Amino acid sequence: MADYNVIVIGAGPAGYVAAIRCAQLGLKTACIDKWINSEGKSSLGGTCLNVGCIPSKALLDSSHHYYFMQKHAATHGISCKELEIDVAAMQARKANVVKKLTQGIGALFKKNKVTSIEGTARLVGNQQVEVTAADGSKQTLTTDNIIIATGSVPTQIPVAPTDDQLIVDSTGALAFDSVPQRLGVIGAGAIGLELGSVWSRLGSQVTILEALPDFLATADRKIATFAQRELKKQGLDIHLGASVTGTTVANNEVTVSYKDNKGEQQLVVDKLIVAVGRKPNTEGLGDIQINERGFIEVDEFRQTAVPGIYAVGDVIGGPMLAHKGSEEGVMVAERLAGQKSEMSYDTVPWVIYTWPEVAWVGKTEADLKAAGVAYKVGQFPFAASGRAQAHGDTTGMVRILADAETDRLLGVHIFGISASELISEAVVAMEFEGSAEDLARTIHAHPTLAEAVHEAALGVDGRMIHA
Ligand code: FAD
Ligand code: AMP
């Protein structure tokens, strides 16, 4: 008999969720993870909890409080004469949030009887995994099934090699111990915009260089245009069509060379963040089939070419988002326990945690035009929302796209306060194949920001009340 029914490799949001679900369903499960944090201690939760979703949101929230006190508090009748930033305290709070949550995964493993193993895993056969502990000792475990959830690491580009001092990746940018005066960011994706926002709110002069000609190329065009304008107002200097060609470090500053439609340009900064995406992490994993982009190849149920070996999360590509990986983990676990679970990517929500936030689910107008689908649009501005007015944050809008014939919801796009929370209503409605009429007939509490979603749904049929 094998040591385990399932061995999960990696304890990020894809792996730890898969492991817990396997154990809940009665499978004898171990989860192996190699993460060592900046204190030299092993830490569960992967990129997401240690150096991704959670610490970035902790700093976004702290920096937003500061920005609010500086720019908006006075309009609420609140004044503060001596506002100061204590970066060390801000970082300590972030570390504490991370510590609580990563330790929480350990507690969840215990409660659900998942065996947690510290070390680096390597496939040594279809049903064997070798684990090398931090002290170099090795053990080989046997298992009926393997779920690979080894995640991703920041992409490095030869034109801007990170040195962990002046040129850093997202992990380095989450750990600055002071506010850089001039900050460059390569890449205007979610990570570049979020980290750029953190340090801009705290006082950095931020320049973002993005190679693509369009801002947030995969988002709704109207939302992207509004978001770009708003971020510019906040001080983010975003250069589109700007491809970085080289960097030099001298005298404690970085000179970034880039090419745009005006020709060769240069930018001098005190710190440079490289945020050009993430690549799958399969290093040292052993014999596993990967595609030309380095992702592990899987079928619709996330099984690799080898029966009994599955892969989930960032390491298989698709939307490289924590919640995508978690759902894949749940599906694989349930199928291993004999259930017929399925999952599609059609209703995976996307969120960018700028202020305000950008969130969407489903198709954009560009997607629908390209597919020749006739659609109707309902659009409601937050400026017409009582709750947004009361809050003092009226930027942005909700846009709903519905099938012109059937009224089925095809896409929902939000730029505005709490968009990350508001999008869930749209996800649920779309998961149930709902229509704009379904949202329009749903009673929304007053006054709430969610009323803006309700109004946009009414707007699909030209019957908004408040705009
Ligand atoms: P990971 O979280 O990368 O976990 C993989 C784990 O496997 C790691 O712990 C690693 O140590 C371990 N491992 C790897 N190889 C081995 C091995 N051979 N043996 C043992 N263990 C191994 N996503 C969102 O959805 N929302 C956000 O707001 C968001 N913000 C982000 C902000 C930043 C700054 C970054 C960098 C990412 C962010 N992401 C966000 C992306 C998100 O973090 C990833 O999509 C998610 O962590 C992927 O989960 P995963 O489980 O596939 O892999
Ligand atoms: P994401 O993959 O969403 O995290 O975004 C990364 C962004 O970095 C993409 O929009 C890329 O176009 C951008 N990018 C990649 N390489 C470069 C480069 N050399 N110069 C400027 N932008 C880049």
Residue 465 lies in a domain: no
Pair (86, 40) in one structural domain: yes
Q: Does the CB atom of residue 326 touch ligand 1 within 6 A?
A: no
Pair (321, 373) in one structural domain: no
Residue 162 lies in a domain: no
Structural domain boundaries enclosing 316: 4-154+279-343
Q: What is the count of structural domains for the chain?
A: 3
pLDDT of residue 125: 80
Residue 187 lies in a domain: yes
Nearest to 465 by CA among 375, 386, 368: 386
Enclosing H/E stretch for 65:
helix 53-71
Give the distance (Å) from ligand 2 centre to CA of residue 363.
22
Q: Which ligand is nearest to the CA of 274?
A: 2
pLDDT of residue 58: 98
Pair (173, 217) in one structural domain: yes
Burial of 241 (0-12, 13-18, 19+ CB in 10 A): middle
What ligand 2 atom has the least distance to the C-alpha of 160? 19
Q: Which of 65, 76, 446, 466 is catalytic?
A: 446
Q: Which ligand is nearest to the CA of 215?
A: 2
**CATH number of the domain encompassing residue 208:** 3.50.50.60
Q: Does the CB atom of residue 46 touch ligand 1 within 6 A?
A: yes
Radius of gyration of the chain, Cα coordinates, nearest whole angstrom: 23
Distance CA 386, CA 381 (A): 11
| 243 close to 276: Cβ distance less than 8 angstroms | no
Ligand 2 pocket test target in 276, 320, 352 with most atoms within 8 Å of CB = 276
Pair (226, 289) in one structural domain: no
Pair (76, 191) in one structural domain: no
Distance CA 220, CA 458 (A): 20
Q: Which of 307, 327, 343 is the last residue of a domain?
A: 343
Pair (149, 46) in one structural domain: yes
Pair (140, 284) in one structural domain: yes
For this structure, is 446 an active site residue?
A: yes
Pair (294, 374) in one structural domain: no
Residue 436 lies in a domain: yes
Count of C-beta atoms within a 10 Å radius of residue 164? 10
Q: Which ligand is nearest to the CA of 238?
A: 2
What residues form DSSP beta bridges with 154?
278
Residue 467 lies in a domain: no
pLDDT of residue 252: 97
What ligand 2 atom has the least distance to the C-alpha of 242? 21
Q: Which of 315, 343, 371 is the last residue of a domain?
A: 343
Pair (180, 149) in one structural domain: no
DSSP letter, residue 102? H
| Residues in the ligand 2 pocket, defined by CB under 6 Å | 157, 159, 186-191, 209-212, 243-244, 276-277
Tokens 């002069």 identify what position? 205
What ligand 1 atom has the least distance to the C-alpha of 15? 51
The sign of the CA dihedral 10, 189, 241, 255 is negative
pLDDT of residue 81: 87
Pair (30, 136) in one structural domain: yes
Pair (138, 184) in one structural domain: no
Tokens of 118: 């510290």
Give the distance (Å) from ligand 2 centre to CA of residue 416.
24
What residues form DSSP beta bridges with 7?
30, 146
DSSP letter, residue 406? T
Q: Which of 234, 251, 276 is the last residue of a domain?
A: 276
pLDDT of residue 251: 97
Give the distance (Å) from ligand 1 centre to CA of residue 89.
25
**In tens digits, what is the pLDDT along the chain, a chain of 467 residues?**
999 999 999 999 999 999 999 999 999 999 999 999 999 999 999 999 999 999 999 999 999 999 999 999 999 999 998 999 999 999 999 999 999 999 999 999 999 999 999 999 999 987 999 999 999 999 999 999 999 999 999 999 999 999 999 999 999 999 999 999 999 999 999 999 999 999 999 999 999 999 999 999 999 999 999 999 999 999 999 999 999 999 999 999 999 999 999 999 999 999 999 999 999 999 999 999 999 999 999 999 999 999 999 999 999 999 999 999 999 999 999 999 999 999 989 999 999 999 999 999 999 999 999 999 999 999 999 999 999 999 999 999 999 999 999 999 999 999 999 999 999 999 999 999 999 999 999 999 999 999 999 999 999 999 999 99
